[in-house]
Structure 1
């Protein structure tokens, strides 16, 4: 019995495909820029990579260190990266100015405003108004510095009377300690642990003027993707969020073990310090009361709308983006699969 050559070719192709290993099929590549240098509070990203959670979703993810929570947004908007982790308020600013270019957030992590101006415990600066006539320093891409015009408005500060200076991030706490600046912009957890690394006790040696205590109940860092990538690769975005959410639950269960995944990227990190920083981040920046109601990863639309209005009004932006332009919850795992509490 003989077979036509076309049949034989089809059979041969079928056998070859069946024998080919699954790994031979290309995975979707995602380049992601982080908010900062490798550190403990990024453990969920690294754990999802190390444990193969991204791979199970058909993804090949590459992480690059960041230069500040505000710096990651333009890097994704430019097309240099498909994804990023950074400040939602900077994303709102870009969405108001260039809506077609602005990335879209898909998973909210820092749901409690971490923005602060820090002073030494013995500083004469007791209230926001006392900043007038003083010098406040911060890295150029610091989220709190970027939001200072809005903070000044809400705290009734004459911003024209405040001198703002920039420095390398690793010099911020040193310059504050030496009196080279009167106050510093930053995130509460970041500044606290940088100061701790210098041998200071943040609770005794520093005071924090928090934006959230002065009418600015803003969201902060979220995971976001470029609009073009979301449109062209919705399954990849959903897979990324699923893998990340899975890793976050692992981190909540065992923060100490999770810290090791960060140390794999930067062995010079101090394990105990990074573990404590991770725990403090979850406690201070990710435990807004709304998590019990809507779950980690999501946002409250009314609260987000108010945050957008604050940023638009304070910075006199040309338009007011709708919440749906800024945050897309359609990629989130089911409510029952996302954490309701972190502690």
Structure 2
């Protein structure tokens, strides 16, 4: 019995170095695996909550991104509805919200006024399915730009997309600055724009989406011109972030922009019927007591470039316009300084295509 125990002890002693080596190897493998996992894991977020303003009856790209699971572990915090793009980006500049979107012209003017914001990804645009039109009554004598002198035009807000498009139309029509000032802009909520036109409160109104389609179905109005007739398919404006937000929260900024970019591509590549169904579900779940009937008329994002990538050209057309208008001095702003694509995963792809096309 003693002999057997002695033999077993000797055998175990002989195996001890091997077992020790195996343990050390296992520990090393585990440590390597943990290090490898950390290397490929997403960096810890420096901010986990994003404050934003919503739009009644609409679903923003960040709201869609959250619903699709593209933002996690980031969470959105709704702080109320905005009344316009300029108001939305002004709220970013003052630090009341973290993200906001508006027309490029409004963003450029805000940055020119020394507001610390930067464009990070496309927000909306116009194409054959999604566009803004200027309409008159069928029997209106208005047929061209010069006919608008002394007339009233309904727009949703001042200093944004519709005002710039109208002024470009008038400028191309040969009107002088003094003549353009004689065209009166009247702020009218989009839902009452058709009524304002039919009742003679304005001579021209702006309509888009469901409001445009329903008005045309009722008849008695005709299109004077549209934004895509002037500019083609284009991304009309970006989302902006505060420069301090970008500096202090680079990981959160990247996660937010990546999520929005993926949401844009989801909308661009998913059948419209599925997109509309998703929007209706999101609106119902957020319980804001809003009318979602316009969603059934949604057709496209209107955004020109994959993932909402921003280009110099998108901004330059409006910088040039503001210089021509006298709002900016020549050389005052450089397009490349007003935005960044560093957080957009589609930027490299777009850059490669642009470079290839230029060769």
TM-score if structure 1 supplies the norm length? Answer: 0.73
Paired residues for 1:25-174 under 5 Å: 27-34=47-54, 36-39=55-58, 42=59, 44-56=61-73, 59-63=74-78, 64-98=80-114, 101-112=115-126, 114-141=131-158, 143-145=161-163, 148-157=166-175, 158-174=179-195
Instruction: State the Cα distance separating 1:84 from its structure 2 match.
Output: 0.5
1:180 pairs with 201, 207, 223, which one? Answer: 201
Deviations 1:201-256 (A, max 9, x none): 28873314224434698641321111111111111111001112223333342313
After superposition, the Cα gap between the structure-2 partners of 1:43 and 1:229, relative to the gap in structure 1 and judged at 3 Å, is closer
Deviations 1:168-222 (A, max 9, x none): 44322211122211012x4x53xx422445x652887331422443469864132
Counterpart CA distance in 2 for 1:82 and 1:270 is 25
Contact 2:309–2:346 under 8 Å retained in 1? no
> Aligned to 2:170, what secondary structure does the other structure show?
helix
2:338 pairs with 305, 315, 326, which one? Answer: 326
Instruction: State the Cα distance separating 1:47 from its structure 2 match.
Output: 2.5
1:306 aligns with 2:317: yes
Q: Where does the alignment leave 5 or more consecutive residues of structure 2 unmatched?
A: 1-44, 354-359
Contact 1:305–1:323 under 8 Å retained in 2? yes
Counterpart CA distance in 1 for 2:99 and 2:328 is 25
Contact 2:46–2:252 under 8 Å retained in 1? no
Instruction: State the Cα distance separating 1:317 from its structure 2 match.
Output: 2.0
After superposition, the Cα gap between the structure-2 partners of 1:77 and 1:216, relative to the gap in structure 1 and judged at 3 Å, is farther
Counterpart CA distance in 2 for 1:320 and 1:216 is 27
Counterpart CA distance in 1 for 2:173 and 2:338 is 26
Contact 1:150–1:311 under 8 Å retained in 2? no
Q: What do you get for the CA RMSD once the two structures are aligned? A: 3.1
Structure of greater Rg: 2
After superposition, the Cα gap between the structure-2 partners of 1:169 and 1:334, relative to the gap in structure 1 and judged at 3 Å, is closer
Counterpart CA distance in 2 for 1:249 and 1:311 is 31
TM-score if structure 2 supplies the norm length? Answer: 0.70
Instruction: State the Cα distance separating 1:91 from its structure 2 match.
Output: 0.5
> Aligned to 1:331, what secondary structure does the other structure show?
coil
Q: Where does the alignment leave 5 or more consecutive residues of structure 1 unmatched?
A: 1-24
